[in-house]
Structure 1
């Protein structure tokens, strides 16, 4: 009689479940930890998957390819693609993920300043005194011209 009670109790506890799930046996999806560095350090690093930090730092991302954009004031932004390779596991080991490149290094280039054209204001040359007309000139002097008649 004792066996019947134990089997009945186990049957009732399983009967309350509408479905039997094996989710408890699944492992978490693999993640990769990636080191981020920049020259100069202190740049903002933002991954396309949403993680961000200030270099040097590290982020943990899901096992998918992504890119990291490094930005800093007075420097041009740099985007570096990162490939994540997943090695599947078996019954004794879990899956692993490795990122390439790791560490992700970006060399930021300074922004070249935009030069505005400089307007040069030219000073007018001082009026030179008219040279004295040569006496042998075939043309009459404008100062000696007769006034037009009215």
Structure 2
């Protein structure tokens, strides 16, 4: 009787284990990627800043980004009327939390800073180069001396 009971418990236990082998089952235990606050600043302040992940604001400000699975970096684009646009890359560093704490995400740099340069006047066109006039080469005279005063005959 004990043997039959042990086999029944083992069979039920193994049947329960087979349901854990499904990849879809484990994906339900994964938590959503964590959101991270990123501080956006610019010189001069008041520039429009937008991340390549979506959120944006007017500097200085802070936005919440959620880097998806496999995202290792994103770009913050700055724009302001009368200023040249700028882009700053931001690295996403995933930190393993270990057995007793959750995984976290670190952004580098944070705060993200951009210095916007004024749009200057268009550059002046270069002056065209004129070919230099060459002095004609002096031809030797009949007696073998070089006559510098007389132009060469062609």
Name the TM tier (shorter chain): 0.5 to 0.7
CA contact (8 A) 1:45 1:52 kept: yes
2:98 equivalent to 1:94: no
1:50 to 54, 67, 80: 54
Matches within 5 A, 1:107-146: 107-114=115-122
Determine the C-alpha separation between the residues in 1 that align with 2:77 and 2:118: 16
Listed as ranges, the gaps of 5+ residues in structure 1 are 1-18, 118-150
Listed as ranges, the gaps of 5+ residues in structure 2 are 1-21, 126-154
Q: If you compute each CA radius of gyration, which structure gives the higher value, 1 or 2?
A: 1
Task: State the SS of the aligned residue for 2:65.
Answer: strand
Determine the C-alpha separation between the residues in 2 that align with 1:60 and 1:67: 14
1:38 to 37, 42, 52: 42
Determine the C-alpha separation between the residues in 1 that align with 2:94 and 2:123: 49
2:31 to 7, 20, 27: 27
Determine the C-alpha separation between the residues in 1 that align with 2:52 and 2:75: 5
Determine the C-alpha separation between the residues in 2 that align with 1:54 and 1:105: 13
Determine the C-alpha separation between the residues in 1 that align with 2:99 and 2:124: 67
Going from structure 1 to structure 2, the CA distance change for 1:115 and 1:25 (only over 3 Å counts) comes to closer
The one-character-per-residue Cα deviations of 1:94-119 (angstroms, maximum 9, x if unpaired) are: 111111011000000000134899xx
Partner of 1:8: none
The one-character-per-residue Cα deviations of 1:20-59 (angstroms, maximum 9, x if unpaired) are: 9455532221232110000110000011111111101111
Structure 2-normalised TM-score? 0.57
Partner of 1:80: 88
User: Which contiguous aligned blocks of 4+ residues in structure 1 show a shift greater than 4 angstroms?
Assistant: none
